[in-house]
Amino acid sequence: MLQPTLTLLFSLLFLCCLSLPMASESAIGVNWGTLSSHRLKPSTVVNLLRDNKISKVKLFEADPAILKALMGSAIQVMVGIPNEMLSLLGGSSVAADYWVQRNVSAFMTKGGADIRYIAVGNEPFLTSYNGQFINLVIPAITNIQQSLVKANLAGYVKIVVPCNADAYESSGGLPSQGVFRSELTQIITQLVQFLNSNGSPFVVNIYPFLSLYDNGDFPGDYAFFQGTTHAVTDGSNVYTNAFDGNYDTLVSALGKLGYGQMPIVIGEIGWPSDGAIGANITAARVFNQGLVYHIASNKGTPLRPNVPPMDVYLFGLFDEGAKSTLPGNFERHWGIFSFDGQAKYSLNLGLGNKELRNARNVEYLPSRWCVANPLSDLTNVVNHMKIACSVADCTTLNYGGSCNEIGEKGNISYAFNSFYQLRMQDSQSCEFDGLGMVTFLDPSVGDCHFLVGVIDRGLNKDSSACQKTYQWLVIVLLLILHGTFFLSM
Ligand SMILES: *[C@@H]1O[C@H](CO)[C@@H](O)[C@H](O)[C@H]1NC(C)=O
Ligand SMILES: *[C@@H]1O[C@H](CO)[C@@H](O)[C@H](O)[C@H]1NC(C)=O
Ligand SMILES: *[C@@H]1O[C@H](CO)[C@@H](O)[C@H](O)[C@H]1NC(C)=O
């Protein structure tokens, strides 16, 4: 009788010690998106996270190679389920069981990946989705929760549903007037009941940049954390930055549903560094650094003084050159690191290092670029450029971008090079009917950077394995030749 009680007591004590420091301090994590044509090896990225002391990461999908690389790293993981899978998982408990088995349980072995959250859907209530996912959310979280119970993981892995801040609004822009969009009231009520009964936080994505981008009247200085000439006065509360105002609008909206104390996690927040007016390196650094210091101050917000958000996931870890540009060209430039894991600006994440540390052992393609051949007649180049830019990333060329002022020939070269690197410097990809030419001189001008791709072991496993075998063959052959040479002397 005594022994089980003691064991229980000890495990309770153990759990308390484990969870106390985490509950009281909010931590900075990152979103690791992978919509890039030049991806680093997952193990390189995990080392990058560890070098930067980043202990929380959010994934948009259960990518097995990434989860495998995270095994044993002690990094806490939020793993996402894309909206496109909600219908399947909500409609079939077998599919949900299978998803949990293959994408969660399989990685949570001893010394495995530390999966803490499953993000079911990504901003499923977004206005621009026209309601297509709204009714799929509750069935999906219900099934996944049951699957977690069956897998004995329900106490450890929590379900969340990241919402965009467009799920709520407030009349007159006053945080105290926050309410969820009327067509969402019913579904969000069900959602927060579920979250509350499972001990899950409400996850919200907040983007002051988009408020600025979408609304010419939005005061620029209100987006940052450096004081403003446009403070918002709401009763006795004064708001000096858009983040606090937005956050408290959510707190009010939750309060109206009876959940004013529900813990909040910021699932995405950040500032792009290119691709639009107002998206530049300086603004991105000032915003992200201001945010980090604001969170670290533990000041909280007027409606939640001294209670900062539980966790804050920056968006994002890398620039993702294959993201849709539908929202704007800035969409491919949210990274605190460029696609190749190099810090874009100085940033103290408040996690122990004063500066970002770059990725180590990045394997680049050779230092060569494809540019417009200066000797050829470029009058018929437009079509080539269009095709190149329809697959490769040329977003920095546009108005507000870092390469907007490199001239017509510069434009062509930039497009050619983007395409050439995308095609892993395949020699045919620099032909363009004789208009392209490979150069060994870096054509970058000023802030406009002409990239060199990285070797993507993830995507080209076969060809790189092939290449290795080939290299060995060459070495062996050389040795044999060498041997015969010596013998014949
Ligand atoms: C695991 O997740 C991935 C990525 O979301 C998905 O493609 C795959 O179908 C999932 N596996 C199962 C068994 O559902
Ligand atoms: C960078 O963006 C900020 C606002 O986001 C703007 O005020 C500033 O003028 C921009 N700087 C440059 C050099 O364009
Ligand atoms: C270069 O291309 C961009 C984007 O299409 C355009 O805005 C800019 O005017 C071009 N520059 C020249 C000199 O043609």
Residue 198 bridge partners (DSSP) = none
Distance 64 CA to ligand 1 centre (A): 9
- What one-character-per-residue DSSP string does 158-171 give? EEE--EEGGGEEEG
Residues with a CB atom less than 6 Å from ligand 2: 220, 278, 280, 282-283
Distance 62 CA to ligand 1 centre (A): 6
Q: At what angle do helices 93-103 and 137-150 cross, to 10 degrees?
A: 60
Token pair listed for 288? 């992200």
pLDDT at 470: 44
Residues with a CB atom less than 6 Å from ligand 1: 61-62, 82, 98-99, 102-103
Nearest CA to ligand 3 atom 4: 398
Token pair listed for 8? 């229980």
Distance 280 CA to ligand 2 centre (A): 6
- CA pair distance 92, 467, nearest whole angstrom: 44
CA of 407, closest atom in ligand 3: 13
Cα dist. 118→18, 62, 83 in Å?
21, 10, 13
- What one-character-per-residue DSSP string does 378-441 give? -TT-HHHHHHHHHHS--GGGSTTSTTTTSHHHHHHHHHHHHHHHHTTT-GGGG-GGGTEEEESS
Residues with a CB atom less than 6 Å from ligand 3: 397-399, 404, 407-408, 411
CA of 282, closest atom in ligand 2: 1
Dihedral-angle region of residue 223 (phi above 0 means left; psi in -120 to 50 means alpha; beta otherwise): alpha
The segments of the chain whose pLDDT lies below 50 read: 1-24, 459-472, 474-476, 478-479, 481, 484-489
- CA pair distance 58, 456, nearest whole angstrom: 22
Spans of all domains in the chain: 24-361, 369-439
CA atoms within 13 A on the CB side of 395: 24
pLDDT at 456: 76
Distance 383 CA to ligand 1 centre (A): 39
pLDDT at 25: 63
Catalytic residue list: 123, 268
pLDDT digits (tens, 9 = 90+) for 88-129: 999 999 999 999 999 999 999 999 999 999 999 999 999 999
Token pair listed for 110? 């001893």
Distance 133 CA to ligand 1 centre (A): 18
Distance 321 CA to ligand 3 centre (A): 19
Does CATH place domain 24-361 in 3.90.420.10? no
Ligand minimally distant from the alpha carbon of residue 218:
2
- CA pair distance 336, 343, nearest whole angstrom: 6
Nearest CA to ligand 1 atom 11: 99
Nearest CA to ligand 1 atom 12: 99
- What one-character-per-residue DSSP string does 102-156 give? HHTGGG-STT--EEEEEEESSSTT-GGGTTTTGGGHHHHHHHHHHHHHHTT-TTT
Nearest CA to ligand 1 atom 10: 99
- CA pair distance 167, 378, nearest whole angstrom: 49
pLDDT at 93: 98
Ligand minimally distant from the alpha carbon of residue 210:
2
pLDDT at 21: 36
Query: Ligand 1 pocket check: which of 85, 86, 101, 104 to mutate, most ligand atoms within 8 Å of Cβ?
Result: 85
At residue 414, what is the residue type?
Y
Distance 79 CA to ligand 1 centre (A): 11
pLDDT at 489: 39
pLDDT digits (tens, 9 = 90+) for 292-343: 999 999 999 999 999 999 999 999 999 999 999 999 999 999 999 999 999 9
Query: Ligand 1 pocket check: which of 89, 99, 118 to mutate, most ligand atoms within 8 Å of Cβ?
Result: 99
pLDDT at 458: 55
CA of 212, closest atom in ligand 2: 5
At residue 450, what is the residue type?
F
